Amino acid sequence: MTLPRRALLRAGAAAVMSASLPGFALAAAAPGARKLKLENLHTGERLAADYCIDGCYQPDALQAINHILRDYRTGDVHVIDPRLLDLLHDLNKGLETDAAFQVISGFRSPRTNEMLHERSSGVASKSLHTQGMAIDIRVPGRALNTVHATALSMNRGGVGLYPTSDFVHVDVGRVRRWNGV
């Protein structure tokens, strides 16, 4: 049986990711299903996906997640780092909820990020959003301060609190914290 070229490319990308990301193999060792629910507040799209089953990331689910977290301004789609998905999965566990994450910003194209950076000093010029490694979220039924405190307690990347804008930023970069507006 011959696999379609896209399937081969996806399988190759997954192999590269598993070899190159330390957290990838760690998450892959966990039995059972890792689930995420996402709601893109700008497009109205919703997704519930088992993105990792018995240690295997699911290419179709990852592709659907990449799509829902695309740059809604440009339509650009980018690979979302599986460590970010694992962080969100574990954040839901820490918050003791299976509510959908309300997504304010997932992937941002460099062009969008530059435009936002010019408008606000609160947007990093080299944002991890442009690498598919960051997301800005709310969690229905959980206070923003609770989401923030739980994300901080995980000690797994950057966590920013934006109370005026009503969201928490989480990323899988180096561990750091800040407060925005």
Q: 40 - beta bridge partners?
A: 103
Residue 29 has a pLDDT of: 58
Task: Tell which wins on pLDDT, 1 or 121.
Answer: 121
For residue range 7-40, list pLDDT tens digits in order.
444 444 544 444 444 444 445 456 899 999 999 9
> How far apart are the two ends of the chain, measured CA to CA in Å?
55
For residue range 122-166, list pLDDT tens digits in order.
788 789 999 999 999 999 999 999 999 999 999 999 999 999 999
Whole-number Å distance between alpha carbons of 79 and 63: 8
Strand order through the sheet with 46-53 = 56-57, 46-53, 33-40, 101-105, 134-138, 167-171, 158-162, 176-179
**Pair 146, 129: CB distance under 8 Å:** no
- Does domain 5-179 sit in CATH 3.40.50.300? no
Query: Is 65 in a helix, a strand, or coil?
Result: helix
- Mean pLDDT (the chain) is 88
Handedness of CA 69, 71, 75, 78 (dihedral sign): negative
Query: Is 57 in a helix, a strand, or coil?
Result: strand
List the chain domain ranges. Answer: 5-179
